[in-house]
Chain A
Amino acid sequence: MIQLTQLVKRFGRFTAVDHLTLCVPAGTLYGFLGPNGAGKTTTMRMIAGILRPTGGTVEIGGIETWRQPQAIKAMIGYIPDRPFVYDKLTGAEFLRFVAALYGQEGAAVERRMDELLELFELGPWRDEITGSYSHGMRQKLVIASAFVHRPQLIVVDEPMVGLDPVGARVLKDLFRAFVRRGGTVLMSTHTLEVAELMCDRIAIIARGRIAAEGTMAELRAESASGNESLEDIFLRLTGARPPHALDAVLDA
């Protein structure tokens, strides 16, 4: 579904994504892990067509995104890491606006909106301006908006942040059900338990490059002991060290 080839993104002299190559098969829930600043969000924004790559290509369904951006974007539902929505629009108005951006309107959209709002328990808030929503409610609204136009691919950056346990459960079930119906999800997350539990395949990115890629079993097989947890694999591959100077900092 997604093919990234030698993808590069530079911001001035800083290289955020460095010749990254990755293939996300259709019908999978794909985990995209990495420490802060590794290049996950930049990569996902390039896939969603928000950022233009400095080099390399992004192909969705065999079509290069910067050649036919509108056709590609119509297939994707993008959920950013921070749920910025228009503060002065109501939840229903926001969803109607997003549907219109994808060229959809009418009774079918209204029904779809109601279903999605009910799914995320936002029904009673549909006619309240989003400025009065909590962070978690905005997150739910943005997730609902990504599904309003019935996409084939969901690109989602840190979806669990701010969600209550019920919302998180709904989201997990929604993603699994979406994949069962042939959809594809590319999800970045820092919650390793969620990735381990939910994802069919996982890629770990460090300093803009892929450090490891495969199913959980394949990732474990690459380790010396063969039974490392995802957390251990992540720490080893990204070169992160567990904090050991806590006392020194707190006692200073």
Chain B
Amino acid sequence: MREQQRVPLRAPGVWTVLAPKCRGLAAGWLRDGEIGSAVLFTALALGFWGIVFGAAWRVLHYLSGLELGVLLAQKILDAMLVGFASILVLSNLIAALSTFFLARDLDLLVAAPLNWFQLYLSKLAETAVHASWMIVLVALPVFAAYGVAFHGGVLFLPVALAGLLPFLVLPAVVGSALMLILVNVFPARRTRDLLGVVAIAAAGGLVLLVRVIRPELLFQPGGLSQITSSLEALRVPAGPFLPTRWLSDMLMNWLGRVADPLPVVLLYTTAAAFVIMGGWLHARLFRSGYSMAREGAERFGANAVGSRMAVALLRRVPTARREFLLKDLRLFFRDPTQWGQLILVVLLVAVYVINVRSLPIFSHGRAPLFLVTLIVFLNLGLSGFVLAAIAARFVFPAISLEGRQMWLLRSAPVDARALFQSKYWMTAIPLALLGAAITLVTDLMLHASAFMLVVSIGTIVCFTLAATALALTFGTYYPRFGNENAAQIPTSFGGVAFMMSAVSLLGLIITIEAVPVAGYLRARQFGDTFGLSPSVAAALAGVLALCVVTTVGSLRLGVRRMEELEP
């Protein structure tokens, strides 16, 4: 071979690996974010943050006037951060399976002369971003509310973000390391078994955590003094060795003008030490784990019981529609990344129901009607938020997931409208049933009155049908064809815009329904009979009309877009 002029080599860094993903994400946002969309997005973002900020500020402002207000605020912050941390560990664990072991770019990266630590850092960053963005979205306005309520000044938010950064790194390292060990322990790529283990471990951990914190004490019936003592009694695991405590100390020190660098030092040094330890583990276990993850294909027999049952159940559905539904069901249940997210959702719902069941009004006689009605109303909002999040995760990506196979659907003699409607009903019906079930169970546990039961179930079903239509339509307008992981699709511009639209719709519904609920409470308080007055009827009809207009309008826009879509 002839002597060649050598080009000086420069070792690729973390940015070399991350740059294509960052550029791809930015290009996607810029492409999707045309001026009209950008205005809509900004309005939705401000609306969403405004609602979260407003709610948090009301509580904190009230607490700031109390003698033990600062202490109570820290207790709430501790509880919130412990909740964040537990969700983050689980979320990172699931995200790490995709980013470290299933991603399409891994063959290229593993074959490249890339330093193992650079690969670890880049994949860790990717995992952390995918697992944490929703937490950051919620944490920002809450932190801002702390800053305003306790006069933290304009620098408080940047300080809080600086504290949040190492706080997000820690669960990313822990989640990735756990997944690394699990992949090595499980012999030949049985990801479904692996996720089963994750689910059981996570369920146990979360239930334990909830029972340790006992958040139901916040709803102890009685006067302010009892609430205060309940808050003091909140058994948040806030020992001096927990990062949640370091972050809350760091923030409360700033708000209390206390110059103590220790929490900051602890946060950053621990995060750095964890990254180094995670890197050490990665160097030892990644190659064997990665190789094992590529060995042996998963086999799904055509005679699987679930598959045959689904075929039997759907035998009366027209051919094309039945096979389309079967195809979607098979893809869903055979995709471990979908399973992982489903586990997370089921756990969150379970924890939520357990919490409601543990409320003192359930275990210690009857609470005042006002408190019960308020909690039932809050329950409606929370269930709505959970359902919107589920729609963002499972309905929004529905069209994107057809992506590379869209050639088949577009070249076949299938009506785009029928295809779109099939996707809608397949997701809307289970979601509406889930929403109605959660609301019914929790309302019965709370001994809600018949009026509140009917209103809340009717509202949640209407909202779910509207939110599902919104999710599907946003997903059709902002598809992410070719995305390797369904869990990453909602992080796009369209996904975030949908989430904000759904939360705004929910806020609007709750605001409108405040009229009949307030009327109902007044009537019950004064012993009057509560009838269907014009204002109550107008409010309920308004909510129904809002949901119908959103559903029908979204579906029409979605079908039109679907017909124009050029994959």
Contact = CB atoms under 8 A, between A and B. Distances in A.
Most A Cβ at <10 Å: residue of B4, B335, B408, B409: B408
Contacts of A194: none
A63 interface: no
Contacts of B404: 82, 84
A246 interface: no
A129 B331 contact: no
Given A101-B409, A101-B414, A96 B323 contact: yes
Contacts of B335: 88
B360 to A, nearest CB: 47
Interface string A63-91: 00000011111101010101011101110
A144 interface: no
Interface stretch (B79-87, B164-172, B278-286, B296-304): B296-304
Determine chain B's interface SS by DSSP, over half rule.
Answer: helix
Contacts of B324: 97, 100-101
A190 interface: no
A145 B409 CA distance: 13
Contacts of A129: 297-300, 334
A84 B405 contact: yes
B34 to A, nearest CB: 13
Contact of A74 (B2, B334, B413, B564): B413
B559 to A, nearest CB: 15
Nearest to A48: B411
A251 to B, nearest CB: 6
A127 B414 contact: no
Nearest to A68: B413
A8 B5 CA distance: 47
A95 B444 CA distance: 48
A229 interface: no
B257 interface: no
B319 A103 contact: yes
Contacts of A105: 319, 323
A82 B481 CA distance: 15
Interface in B284-317: 297-302
Nearest to B7: A252
Interface string A171-204: 0000000000000000000000000000000000
Given A50-B407, A93-B302, A100 B320 contact: yes
B412 interface: yes
Given A50-B566, A84-B404, A101-B408, A89 B327 contact: yes
Contacts of A221: none
B560 interface: no
A50 B413 contact: no
B297 A49 contact: no
B297 A132 contact: yes
A251 B327 CA distance: 53
Given A51-B566, A52-B566, A89 B330 contact: yes
Nearest to A85: B405
A45 B410 CA distance: 10
A73 B411 contact: yes
Contacts of A48: 407, 410-411
Nearest to A89: B330
A88 B331 contact: yes
A50 B327 contact: no
B24 interface: no
Given A49-B411, A76-B411, A100 B2 contact: no
Interface string A89-126: 11011001110111111000000000000000000001
B300 A90 contact: yes
Contact of B407 (A78, A86, A103, A251): A78
Interface string B532-567: 000000000000000000000000000000001011
B415 interface: yes
Nearest to B567: A50
Interface in A126-185: 126-129, 131-132, 145
B357 interface: no
A90 B302 contact: yes
B331 A89 contact: yes
Contacts of A131: 297-298
B61 interface: no
Contacts of A86: 327, 331, 405
B413 A103 contact: yes
Given A85-B405, A127-B302, A101 B566 contact: no
B130 interface: no
Nearest to A11: B566
B300 A88 contact: yes
B190 interface: no
A138 to B, nearest CB: 11
A126 B299 CA distance: 11
B38 to A, nearest CB: 19
Contact of B410 (A49, A71, A85): A49
Nearest to B338: A88
B322 interface: yes
Nearest to B415: A70
A158 B4 CA distance: 37
B461 to A, nearest CB: 31
A105 B4 CA distance: 62
Contacts of B413: 69-74, 101-103
Contact of A100 (B299, B302, B323, B407): B323
B411 A50 contact: yes
B374 to A, nearest CB: 46
A92 B302 contact: yes
B4 A251 contact: yes
B405 A103 contact: no
A82 B408 CA distance: 12
Contacts of B414: 70, 101
Interface centre among A82, A84, A102 (most CB of B within 10 A): A84
Contacts of B322: 100
Nearest to A155: B411
B566 A100 contact: no
Nearest to B419: A101
B320 to A, nearest CB: 5
Which of B4, B299, B319, B411 lies at the interface centre, i.e. has the most chain A CB atoms within 10 A of its CB? B411
Contacts of A252: 4-5
Contacts of A100: 319-320, 322-324
Contacts of A69: 413
A72 B410 CA distance: 12
Contacts of B411: 48-50, 73, 76, 78
Contacts of B319: 100, 103-105
A84 B412 contact: no
11 contacts: A48-B407, A48-B410, A50-B406, A51-B566, A70-B413, A72-B413, A73-B413, A84-B404, A86-B405, A102-B413, A128-B297
Given A69-B413, A78-B407, A84-B407, 16 more contacts: A52-B564, A70-B413, A71-B413, A82-B404, A84-B404, A86-B405, A93-B302, A96-B323, A97-B323, A97-B327, A98-B412, A101-B409, A102-B413, A129-B298, A131-B298, A145-B408
Interface of B: 2, 4-5, 297-302, 319-320, 322-324, 326-327, 330-331, 334-335, 404-415, 564, 566-567
Interface of A: 45, 48-52, 69-74, 76, 78, 80, 82, 84-86, 88-90, 92-93, 96-98, 100-105, 126-129, 131-132, 145, 250-252
Q: Lowest 4 CB-CB distances: which A-B pairs, in order?
A: A132-B297, A100-B323, A84-B404, A101-B412
